[in-house]
Structure 1
Amino acid sequence: MKAARYYDRKDIRIEDIPEPELRPGTVAIDVAWCGICGTDLHEYLEGPIFIPPKGSPHPISGESAPITMGHEFSGTITALGDGVDDLAVGQNVVVEPYIIGDDVEVGPGHAYQLSKDMNFIGLGGRGGGLSEKIVVERRWVHPIGEIPLDQAALIEPLSVAHHAFVRSQARAGDTAIVGGAGPIGLLTAAVLKAEGLTVYISELSEARKQMARKTGVADDVFDPREGDVAEKVRALTGGAGADVGFECSSVPVVLDMLLDAVRPGGVIVNVSIWGRKPEVDMPKLVLKELDLRGTIGYANDHPSTIKLVQDGKLDLAPFITARIPLDDLISGGFDQLIDNNEEHVKIIVNPNL
């Protein structure tokens, strides 16, 4: 079968590899669509990061480069391993792409995303969605019902956004300010709107501002070049400020804006992955008694995220900006997201084209 294999920085090859074997307790899936994630871009340009370098196998998967990539994917079940009796061949599913220890509890209330040596399918080994087929443990498979398979490829990043919402402890009726309207910022705003919040976005890019307005994920979109965003947020909240802020840009000036725009006693959730250590206005954090919270991945968020889409509270179709075959992964996918990123939210790949 065809697969995209990561060897090293700027060295991803489309190769023919053996099909994965079905084992007890696992599920075989024909991949339909797989999204290209910002993490994949970081691996391509700056890695290996999550991907274990050649000769340094991951302590759980036992694998190192070359690794099959892709962790945002949907597909159809083709076979069930011994002991799997609560799914059916032909069901459409998504995968929560974790690699964690077999002894780690994954039920409600367990923070398994923080477990030792955690990694992701498609980065740390165990196959990936940028291939025709994959076999995964039952516990990571989630049925999606009638959600179209192309849209379902966005469930994984949407679950990242949902987990950020959960971390914020925000409620319907609250006001949120989202810093940055890239893919994760837009999806975070989409979850917040679906959960009943008033949502404002701060963004410089004209194309991304248009996407935020087109998709209806924000009540208003502000360009920081056209006035003080924090002042605008306070004016719209009776002088109080937003209840919650979400940092989705990894840009220091955006974090500064959020510290200013959120009300005293409010919460800021950092969703973005930083490539450097930013300065933080600690006096403002202290004097306003703000909570600055981190978030990584998801933990039991997939079912709630899937339900938001099934209930019609979220339309994922507008966020798909290109569909490409696996053979065009670099030129039509990675290069587009690197050189023309403002025009794209999510490029999805069909390994069978």
Structure 2
Amino acid sequence: MSEKTRLGNFFEDFWVGQKIAHATPRTITEGDVALYTALTGSRFATNSADTFAHSLGFPRAPVDDLLAFNMVFGRTVPDISLNAIANLGYAAGRFGHPIYPGDTLTADSTVIGLKENSDGKTGIVYVRSCGVNQRGQIALDYCRWVMVRKRNPQSPAPAASVPDLPSAVAAADLIVPTGIRIEQYDCALAGSSELWDDYRVGERIDHVDGMTIEESEHMMATRLYQNTARVHFNQQAEQAGRFGRRIIYGGYIISLARALSFNGLANAFSLAAINGGRHVSPAFAGDTVYAWSEVIAQLIIPGRHDLGALRLRTVATKDHPCADFPYKSPDGRYDASVLLDFDYTVLIPRRA
């Protein structure tokens, strides 16, 4: 058999400090944006209308931040997580320069930590990934950690090195897109009258709506991002796996949760940070996704009196509406229906 094909990196192929330039630059098109909207139902006005975006100082409607995130994530999969069992978490993510149709994204990653698991068959790989546009401007950078299979369980374990990651991105480190102005912000067109001032720390918002995932939708979304992880596509291979069926890519669940959050957070027009996150359990075709959000903090952006930030925790569940939902037991264990616990920061207008 030819040795020209690649099987992806296994745990023992990584080392701390390793830098990986990922293949396949991706030019974002209007078609990508339309397909993302069709697959998620996202309806934030800034990403939906050039006229609305222009009134805020954008040259045109920017690409949805999570479409950009998933496109960058997709670049990294063949090198980082092709042999992964699970993507475990995120931290220290910042969104930078907005991406527009016609921009080309490239990505690279640096290994920042390694830790073999006690079973000797897998290990945790920590990476910082960065996506840039064709001008070298950073669109986003973030850390994630993923459980990766070992090629040979008998391979010696590397020295454990777990990075010290922040619990949240500080307000002073948030990046507000250049030229953004709020004086012409139209709440009626945005779909809500609630601004930064109308939320309170500890408030929980049930986003009410549910969205059932079809098999074709999640596979099409994952192909859109060029995420090549076999667990999402190869039913024949996965029949012998842990779950016996294809797993839905976690980034698709994040996008659905963000889309559902429009009902209650319509004026959260831009993502600024990913503070943390965990894919609690897998999702499968046929599951109906619901979401609710908790306001963790109201953040003041230095030098801005027209714009603030909300640090949010959005929890997505399957087949379980979220009203008055106890997502954790008293001993801290998640309910079996929880799919995602996602901690992120959004930009939102303040009252004058």
TM-score range, shorter chain: under 0.3
Q: Give the structure with the larger helix fraction.
A: 1
Structure 1 length-normalised TM: 0.25
Structure 2 length-normalised TM: 0.25
